[in-house]
Amino acid sequence: MEPNSCDTFVVLPPLTKYGVVFGKNSDRPSNEVQEVVYFPSIISYKPVKCTYITVKSAGFKNAVILSKPSWMWGAEMGANEWGVAIGNEAIWTKDNDGDQDPSVKRLLGMDLVRLGLEIGCTATKALEVMIQLLEEYGQGGPCSESDSSLVYHNSFIICDSETAWVLETCGKHWAAEQVTAGYRNISNALTITTKIDRHSKGLLEYAKSKGLWDGQGEFNFREAFSGEKEPYGSRFLAGEKLLEKSTSTKSFKETDMFAILRDKESGICMTCDGIGSVTQGSQVSVLSRKKPSIHWFTATPDPSKSVFKPFVFTKNVVPSKHTQCSSSEDPHTLYSLHAEASKKGSYVQELLRNMESECVKELETVIEKDDQDLSELDELFKDCVETEVKFYR
């Protein structure tokens, strides 16, 4: 199966201008709306009702900003108040029986994204939360509200301001690779080979028992579970090349990630003009240890026609009502207005890109400042969304 949706990227020092830069395009069915929603931190011991199943509570939830299909509990991507960002990818493997059957309703990969963000205060802790839940509850279930045959296993990039993890799974089995410098991308195919920093208990023995590995030589996760000896997928390879080129100056920043997510020639940006999947939402996060992390969301399809709007976690953050759906059947305000403007070839796109550029410049000033009073950013995302809404109207 040729991979046909989603790309996730991370770039780390010394290749970046500021901190760790995360980016993801969420490619979903063309009739599905993706919303950007904020949930504050809370203490709660009530069981958590995910998309299909209920899991036990951790007793608390971090504040999170999520880009998610409006009908599901989980999220395609997001970030939390501690500067952790996570995105997931659909993958298909050779092992799909029993506990590995992705058609059985368990935890969706998107549920694991949200749970990792709500519980994990570092990338490593989020990784541990996700693998614990994966091993306890398993993964599976239809990943589309309108197509019950869309089922898959998942891979993830989990990162904070100091490190990143690639987590790749098959049912309850998994392998994780830590990335501490340079860049990494994933795109609908297994990418972990012999560099395995953590893995599920009994992984190698299981692979041998299923005839996925003959036990000879060094264990290769990708070869065992997908049968692929070389990197698979044109978008994955194109993404690697784009990262190599754009990090050559060692000053990679959010606008470079914007450009990668907007690249149509590679197929990384799936436009509304095509057939099938569409890039329904995009996220870029700049994760800093000593400075505020800044998260950019389009909240609208096709990043080549959308504008990235910044969000910063503050003590009194005010979310935008225009990026939240009132129900799974009704698109949010920004989605509807953007769709109409796109059909008309609206002239406001250039004006909105100018707004995006001005936001980048202003927030660079914030990053450079030693003053950490962020109250002036409480309504940053809300104000940018409302400006976009006014332009469309």
| Active site members | 6
Of the CA atoms within 13 Å of residue 335, those in its CB half-sphere come to 26
Closest listed residue to residue 385, CA positions, set 332, 315, 313, 331: 332
Nearest to 161 by CA among 295, 39, 282: 295
A 10 A CB-CB count for 289 gives: 11
Coil vs helix vs strand at 384? helix
Torsion sign across C-alpha atoms 110, 115, 118, 120: negative
Looking at the chain, how many residues does it have? 393
Straight-line distance from the first to the last Cα atom of the chain, in angstroms, rounded to the nearest whole number: 42
CB atoms under 10 Å from CB of 71, counted, come to 16
Other beta carbons within 10 Å of 368 = 9
Whole-number Å distance between alpha carbons of 320 and 310: 12
What is the residue type of 247?
Answer: T
Report d(CA 101, CA 95) in Å as an integer. Answer: 8
Cβ(312)–Cβ(374) under 8 Å? yes
